[in-house]
Copies of this chain bind each other. A is one copy, B any other.
Amino acid sequence: MKAEMIAVGTELLLGQIVNTNAQYLSQQLALLGVDVYYQTVVGDNADRLRHTIEVARSRSNVILFTGGLGPTMDDITKDVLAELLGSELYHDEDALTQMEKMFAGRGTPMVESNKRQALVIEGADVLPNRTGLAIGNAIVHEGVAYIVLPGPPREMKPMFAEQVIPWMKDNGLLDASTLYTRMLKFAGVGESSLEDALRDLIEAQGDTTIATYAKEGEVLVRLATKSDDAALAASKLGEVETEITNRLGQHLYAAEDVSMNEVLVNHLIQHQMTLSAAESCTGGLFAEMMTSVPGSSQVFLGGAVTYSNEMKERILGVPHELLEGESAPGAVSSEAAKAMVEGMQDIADTDFTVAITGVAGPGHSERKPVGLVYIAIGEKGKDTHVEELRLSGDRDTIRIRTVNAVMYRLWRKLQGHG
């Protein structure tokens, strides 16, 4: 099966956005065992889009389109494709009804042009849009499959995962032998150290491949093996996973594609434990990460973003003499982090309490260097542990690295360590 992708949008040709859709679809198709041979970007221009489709269908069996499904005159993907296939376009009634409901709910009027987002190519299957307006289309025509998806990633991704994959299976476009994969996620360790620890396994890899990817704050290890026997594949993957776990278990926080904040919130839910946070330099980022997980309201009771010293005193009751004065340790100090935990514990009475104070930059503060951060994790009835971090990077990077460090330490604590 030869697949290629066509992204439609002048904003891509002008460099206003990056074609991250190509990356997502390429990764997904690789996992499904589909070879992707080309990715093309073309503007909102009918002649050039037509030319691009003609080239693509002469060399590929599956063509995935992203973008050009919006309501405006620029959005021409379905129009051009329909014309090339010699088909008409019609409006999908269900999509129209849903669209009308949505606009009524919002209290904004639906304009005529919105109806374009409900267009279907005659003979195509409709791919409903659960997270947006423009519906997708999928059609096989003269041996070539055309799959038309919206451009915004938050609409395209669920449509691909939930609808395109089953549609490709139904239409015999996916291999019988399947690629089985396992994702291992590590925190608190860098990619080179992790690779060093696994070097002999990576070098000796056979039909079970081991690939590592570094992301901010975590390293991913992807195990993969192709097989038509699910049990055999599982046993092969399990063997490698066990060996890796033996070596790096203290950093392995998940053996599936979940993120650290989800792991933490789900652990707390399961153990009926609660959490609160007092943040200074991260400005609410830790709270935001925790509360972005569905169900977090059961465990994350609340937080304080105490950016100024006054707020540290008023909300958290941090002593004034600790924050200001000639010989005071100051707001960026181990003492302040500890006092913030205690203040938050008094208010929230949660099982665990996190406090963060530091200098995210770009300017320094209290004549302390950018990147100096104190993180404290308190556990009810136990001593609070404070750690000093010296981080590098710009403001955003320091904030993210701080929150990643806090999450890793909290995870270790929940595992019964540290």
Binding site for B on A (CB under 8 A): 10-20, 22-28, 30, 36-43, 45, 48, 51-52, 55, 59, 70-74, 102, 105-108, 111, 113-114, 131, 154, 190-193, 195-196, 202, 211-214, 220, 222, 276-277, 279, 282-288, 290-292, 294-297, 300-308, 310-311, 314-315, 347-348, 361-363, 365, 371, 390-397, 399
Partner of A310, one of B45, B301, B395: B301
In the complex, which residue of chain B has the Cβ closest to the Cβ of A28? B15
Partner of A283, one of B26, B292, B399: B292
Please tell me if the beta carbons of B285 and A305 are within 8 angstroms of each other in the complex.
no
Q: Which of A40, A302, A391, A394 has the most CB of B within 10 A?
A: A302
- Known contacts: A105-B390, A283-B300, A304-B303. The answer to whether A37 contacts B22 by CB under 8 A is no
Please tell me if the beta carbons of B38 and A40 are within 8 angstroms of each other in the complex.
yes
Please report the C-alpha to C-alpha distance between residue A300 and residue B38 in the assembled complex, in whole angstroms. 48
Please report the C-alpha to C-alpha distance between residue A191 and residue B132 in the assembled complex, in whole angstroms. 14
In the complex, which residue of chain B has the Cβ closest to the Cβ of A293? B395
Q: Which of A36, A211, A288, A311 has the most CB of B within 10 A?
A: A288
Please report the C-alpha to C-alpha distance between residue A76 and residue B369 in the assembled complex, in whole angstroms. 36
- Known contacts: A302-B306, A302-B311, A307-B302. The answer to whether A23 contacts B30 by CB under 8 A is no
Q: Which B residues are CB-close (under 8 A) to A13?
A: 26, 36-39
Please report the C-alpha to C-alpha distance between residue A283 and residue B10 in the assembled complex, in whole angstroms. 36
Please report the C-alpha to C-alpha distance between residue A282 and residue B305 in the assembled complex, in whole angstroms. 13
Please tell me if the beta carbons of A195 and B315 are within 8 angstroms of each other in the complex.
no
- Known contacts: A71-B192, A191-B71, A304-B303. The answer to whether A41 contacts B22 by CB under 8 A is yes
In the complex, which residue of chain B has the Cβ closest to the Cβ of A154? B397
Determine how close the nearest CB of chain B comes to the CB of A156; give it in whole angstroms. Answer: 14
Stoichiometry, copies per complex? 2
Q: Which B residues are CB-close (under 8 A) to A311?
A: 276, 301-302, 347-348
Q: Which B residues are CB-close (under 8 A) to A25?
A: 15
Please tell me if the beta carbons of A51 and B59 are within 8 angstroms of each other in the complex.
yes
Q: Which B residues are CB-close (under 8 A) to A73?
A: 202
Please report the C-alpha to C-alpha distance between residue A154 and residue B72 in the assembled complex, in whole angstroms. 37
Partner of A14, one of B27, B196, B296: B27
- Known contacts: A14-B27, A16-B213. The answer to whether A303 contacts B291 by CB under 8 A is no
Please tell me if the beta carbons of A23 and B15 are within 8 angstroms of each other in the complex.
yes
Q: Which B residues are CB-close (under 8 A) to A40?
A: 38-41
Q: Which B residues are CB-close (under 8 A) to A23?
A: 12, 15, 17-19
Q: Which B residues are CB-close (under 8 A) to A308?
A: 297, 301-302
Q: Which B residues are CB-close (under 8 A) to A202?
A: 73
